Amino acid sequence: MNQEPLDLALRASHVLTMNASGRCLTPGFVGIRDGRIVSVEPYKQGMEAAWNPKRFLALDRHIVFPGLINAHTHLGMGFFRGIEDDLPLETWLKERVFPLEAALVTEELVYSASLLGMVQMLLSGTTTFVDMYYFEEAAARAAERLGVRAFLGPGVLDMPTPGVPDAETGLRRLEAFIESYSGHPRITPILAPHAPYTCSDRTLKALRALKERFGLRATIHVQETSGELQESLRRFGKTPLERLESLGFLDSNVLCAHMVWLGAGDREVLERARPGVAHCPNSNLKLGSGVCNVAELRDMGLLVGIGTDSVASNDSLDMVREMKTAALLQKALHADPSRMGAKETLGLATSEAAKALGMGDQLGSIEAFKRADLVAAEINTVRDFPCHDPYAHLVYTLTGSHVSTVILAGEVAVFDGRLVNDPTEEALDTWQETASRVGRELERLKKG
């Protein structure tokens, strides 16, 4: 034995590394020290003794894959899960979401909802996420409580929003938020103008200046509905993408959520600016927004991640289920079953999303020197027997409920389907009380 002892090691029947060569180890061994992966190799008898880990996990009958990355969500909306179905986006947003938010959203509610969402994401295998909402300081506190990796963007709109009477105040608070979390090991502040249709040129220019000054990334909803595209052409004579480019806002540090509808000149804009894309298939389907042509965007060389969007329009934060929808949609859209295979889809939710967030050298695959964020899902139990292909099994058969173990920065965060550092007991009363309050306000709104 010549190696320094490992903090943690595991053996699993399948390790999907998602590295550049797409290697799958059957069985595989992963060794972890100081929060990073130090060894990934085919498992051989006696390895645990040779490496002498402080803790060893025998994950036989498990698929191990990199921690999933949810590229677009709004965790603060956690208590608005399924508030009302079957409404078009504009009615849903203006007559349900915005009034509910005006009446109910406080810093305390955002903390509770974010904590709840992070619990649900961790239990279903998501270790990193991109969030846009109000009171992101509260989301940051929840992220620190659970240790998840969070890209947090305080939402900026030109209209008054919870806690922010106008865009000027919003920008001032945003600057304070950026300063207080810059250099944080797991929380990354980002810019989050809500959408081109809710932000004036002036606001977008101010955000561009902040983006350059602090070297930040940004996320924004773009071209989610055809109505948005038409309205922008009417008001500005440009598509939202053309407008963002003309304001100097669009580049490879921007993650555009949705991108369902593209205008005539948008492909050239995308080829020049090369933004990342956060594809939200279930939210787009449920709101009847349309289908993002992910295959075309990827053929153009854009990096695409997968997001759940909020539970108000999904109604789940389960990235495993989201992957299945993403894969099936491209096959149907192109009438071609070879589009978006299972392995490629897992790549979107891991290595490609990491690259789109500028973290490709740190996250998104199981490789030596990367941060040790790994997930194990159980296979070959009677309910889902048999598993012939681990990629297809993960994407098409399993759901986030099959996740048994999550390793976050080298620590076991979920074991045997339970959170190790579980906040449920301390939060449950508040969660129940807040959900009831949301239910009452929703009834009041529906009565008009």
- The footprint of Zn ion (CB under 5 A) covers 309
Shortest separation between residue 257's beta carbon and Zn ion, angstroms: 5
Q: Is 136 or 309 the residue whose CB approaches Zn ion more closely?
A: 309
Q: Is 259 or 406 the residue whose CB approaches Zn ion more closely?
A: 259
Q: Is 266 or 309 the residue whose CB approaches Zn ion more closely?
A: 309
Q: Is 240 or 390 the residue whose CB approaches Zn ion more closely?
A: 240
Shortest separation between residue 111's beta carbon and Zn ion, angstroms: 20
Shortest separation between residue 89's beta carbon and Zn ion, angstroms: 10
Q: Is 232 or 404 the residue whose CB approaches Zn ion more closely?
A: 232
Taking residue 395's Cβ as centre, other Cβ atoms within 10 Å add up to 24
Answer whether the bond into residue 27 is a cis peptide, omega within 30°.
Answer: yes
CB 185 within 8 A of CB 373: no
Shortest separation between residue 224's beta carbon and Zn ion, angstroms: 8
Q: Is 13 or 232 the residue whose CB approaches Zn ion more closely?
A: 232
Give CA–CA dist 307/104, Å, rounded: 25
Q: Is 48 or 309 the residue whose CB approaches Zn ion more closely?
A: 309
Shortest separation between residue 307's beta carbon and Zn ion, angstroms: 8
Q: Is 309 or 344 the residue whose CB approaches Zn ion more closely?
A: 309
Q: Is 309 or 318 the residue whose CB approaches Zn ion more closely?
A: 309
Shortest separation between residue 330's beta carbon and Zn ion, angstroms: 20
Q: Is 31 or 155 the residue whose CB approaches Zn ion more closely?
A: 155
The CB-based long-range contact list for 3-7 (8 Å cut-off, 24+ gap) reads 3/50, 3/51, 3/52, 4/33, 5/51, 5/52, 5/53, 5/54, 6/31, 6/32, 6/33, 6/38, 6/39, 6/51, 6/52, 6/53, 6/54, 7/32, 7/33, 7/34, 7/53, 7/54, 7/55, 7/410
Shortest separation between residue 2's beta carbon and Zn ion, angstroms: 51
| Chain residue whose CB lies nearest Zn ion | 309
Amino acid occupying residue 278: A
Q: Is 309 or 352 the residue whose CB approaches Zn ion more closely?
A: 309
Shortest separation between residue 12's beta carbon and Zn ion, angstroms: 34
List the structure tokens of 174: 């945003």
Shortest separation between residue 39's beta carbon and Zn ion, angstroms: 39
Shortest separation between residue 74's beta carbon and Zn ion, angstroms: 6
Amino acid occupying residue 32: I
Shortest separation between residue 72's beta carbon and Zn ion, angstroms: 6
- Among residues 332, 316, 420, 312, the alpha carbon closest in space to that of 84 is found at 312
